[in-house]
Amino acid sequence: MKKIAVAPGDGIGPEVMDAALEVFEAAGVPLTYERVEMGLDVWKRGVNAGITDHAREVVESTGILFKGPMATPKGSGVKSINVTARKTWNTFANKRVFRTLPGVPRSRHAPEVDITLIRENIEDTYGAIEHMQTHDVAQCRRLITRPGSEQLVRYAFEVASRKGARRVTCGHKANIMKLTDGLFLDVFREVASEYPHLQADDRIVDALAMELVMKPDDFDVVVLPNLQGDILSDLCAGLVGGLAYAPSANIGEHICIFEAVHGTAPDIAGQDRANPTALLLSGCIMLRHLGLVPWADRIESVLPIALREAYRPRDLATPPWPFSTKRFTKLVVDLIQQEPPILRRPALQPLQVAPRSEARMMASPRQPEHEETVGVDLFIDSDRTPDEVAAIVQKACKGALQVKMISNRGTQVWPTGSVFTDCVNHHRVRVEADGAVEPKEIFQLAGRISGQLRVCSLEALLRIDGVPAYSLAQGQ
């Protein structure tokens, strides 16, 4: 039998995990489990990642982690343990399946829903590369890569093909973030051309949010960058009753994580009030991933019956039932045991965990024909006016480099701008040449002005195959 790693989690995590494993046992699921330590208690013992070395070894040897919800301390600078696990094991795609479940209290104006949302899971702002550039200006770098986008989008089209979907929709904000979301959308269109049997279209993410609420039955598979996908996946969960009914799978080439993504609910932990449905549904996705389709089908077939019973209105003479984890689990187990156990075991292909070398793997992006440095964006911490900053930097420029523009919070304030544009102490000074410059020249320029202005950071300006690879400021 296949062995998997099991991490119960924090708060209500152990209760819903025990319920899920009890249901698996009743269904005769042919798996064995090794419990591992992950979560808040591990972090409190001084392990910053919240994952013990033993847990890493077990997950990496089995290739499968089945986990309950895990808490992240708020406001303490501690990285999310959930995100750390997904990124450490390169689970590049988060797959959420949203289906209407009979008997579940849900949005009263939502029609029948069957949406699969595929969210990028590693890049975007979830790289959490943040700095205080001045005492009152924080920066977060948003990274979107071609290899990461292509890997995700191709997976989304494969899921759509296996699902028998008719449509794949890309959500983005490429109208504003023309380079990052623009790259994501370009990759989507390139990959879509390889799947002519599927309708491929795109929506600006804010319009997509509205359409998902108004007509969710129009959508099949939706693919988005990380942050936007995080937000819209919760929106979709609201259409089917909440995160308690929204399974989640994190798919990687070597390791996959199946988890409940609702909170740890410490206020009800240990009170027999936790709903294990999301973890059970996530477990069913895991069973299908492992080839254990009949067991997944059996569990999913009885869940709606159990949910209807759990939420069935009582008559006036009978007091309403408060939701009970144990009572609900027993309902599911009893329904499973009313049918003969599954005896036919399909021939399973064991999960192959590909060996990894000690060296980090590097993606192999396409190489441009021509790439050159043509200037630099200098990020300056200063209370001086844009005119004063421009004069100082221009005086330090040598050769073909010239100050072309200064922006503040993304809006141009020099050489032209409006007196109504309020500035903060964080200027972006764009210095460009008409042709290529040596990269060392931009660092030398930063050094020459450092006696008068503090350079927070700098970004080289590239021209790739003749096209500027940097954005304009608002108003430029």
Asked whether residue 354 falls in the same domain as residue 423, the answer is: no
For residue 470, the SS3 value is: coil
Half-sphere exposure of 171 (CA within 13 A, CB side): 27
Token readout for 72 is 């992240």
Asked whether residue 234 falls in the same domain as residue 249, the answer is: no
Token readout for 97 is 């399946």
The pLDDT tens digits along the chain (476 residues) read 899 999 999 999 999 999 999 999 999 999 999 999 999 889 888 888 889 999 999 999 999 999 999 987 665 556 788 888 998 898 999 999 999 887 786 655 567 899 999 999 989 998 778 888 888 888 898 999 999 999 999 999 999 999 899 999 999 999 999 999 999 999 999 999 999 999 999 999 999 999 999 999 999 999 999 999 999 999 999 999 899 999 999 999 999 999 999 989 999 999 999 999 999 999 999 999 999 999 999 999 999 899 888 776 655 555 556 788 999 999 999 999 886 555 444 433 444 444 455 555 556 566 788 999 999 999 999 999 999 999 999 999 999 999 999 999 999 999 999 988 989 999 999 999 999 999 999 999 999 999 999 999 999 999 999 999 999 888 88
b/e 287-307 (16+ beta carbons within 10 angstroms → b): bebbbbebbbebbbebbeebb
In this structure, what are the phi and psi dihedrals at residue 210, rounded to the nearest 5 degrees? -65, -45
Sign of dihedral through CA atoms 314, 319, 322, 328?
Answer: negative
| Alpha carbons 385 and 413: distance in angstroms, whole number | 10
Place of tokens 């939701």: 323
DSSP assignments along 75-134, one per residue: TS-PPPHHHHHHHHTT--EEEEEEE--TT----TT----EEEEEEE-SSEEEEEEEEEEE
Nearest residue to 10 (alpha-carbon basis) of 281, 262, 272, 249 = 262
| Alpha carbons 334 and 188: distance in angstroms, whole number | 46
CATH number of domain containing 25: 3.40.718.10
Asked whether residue 120 falls in the same domain as residue 162, the answer is: yes
CATH number of domain containing 403: 3.30.70.1570
Nearest residue to 469 (alpha-carbon basis) of 53, 144, 124, 204 = 144
Asked whether residue 221 falls in the same domain as residue 131, the answer is: yes
Cis bond before residue 247 (omega within 30° of 0): no
Asked whether residue 361 falls in the same domain as residue 434, the answer is: no
Measured at the alpha carbon of residue 242, what is the angle toward residues 239 and 247, in degrees to the nearest 5? 100
Nearest residue to 277 (alpha-carbon basis) of 246, 232, 311 = 246
Asked whether residue 334 falls in the same domain as residue 291, the answer is: yes
Asked whether residue 33 falls in the same domain as residue 75, the answer is: yes
Mean pLDDT of the chain: 89
Asked whether residue 426 falls in the same domain as residue 438, the answer is: yes
Sign of dihedral through CA atoms 206, 208, 209, 210?
Answer: positive
Asked whether residue 226 falls in the same domain as residue 116, the answer is: yes
Does residue 6 lie in a domain region? yes
Which of the listed residues 210, 239, 268 is the one where a domain comes to its end? 239
Query: How many domains in the chain?
Result: 3
* pLDDT per residue as tens digits for the range 419-450: 889 899 999 999 999 999 999 999 999 999 99
Report how far apart, in Å, the C-alpha atoms of 77 and of each of 53, 72, 128, 318, 375 are: 22, 10, 11, 50, 35
Sign of dihedral through CA atoms 125, 369, 432, 405?
Answer: negative
Which of the listed residues 336, 366, 396 is the one where a domain comes to its end? 366
Asked whether residue 281 falls in the same domain as residue 404, the answer is: no
Asked whether residue 343 falls in the same domain as residue 388, the answer is: no
CA dihedral 130, 133, 135, 138 (to 10 degrees): -40
Nearest residue to 350 (alpha-carbon basis) of 304, 426, 290 = 290
Does residue 101 lie in a domain region? no
Cα-to-chain-centroid distance, residue 184: 14
8 A C-beta contact, residue 306 and residue 101: no
Does residue 475 lie in a domain region? no
**Residue span of the structural domain in which 194 resides:** 107-239
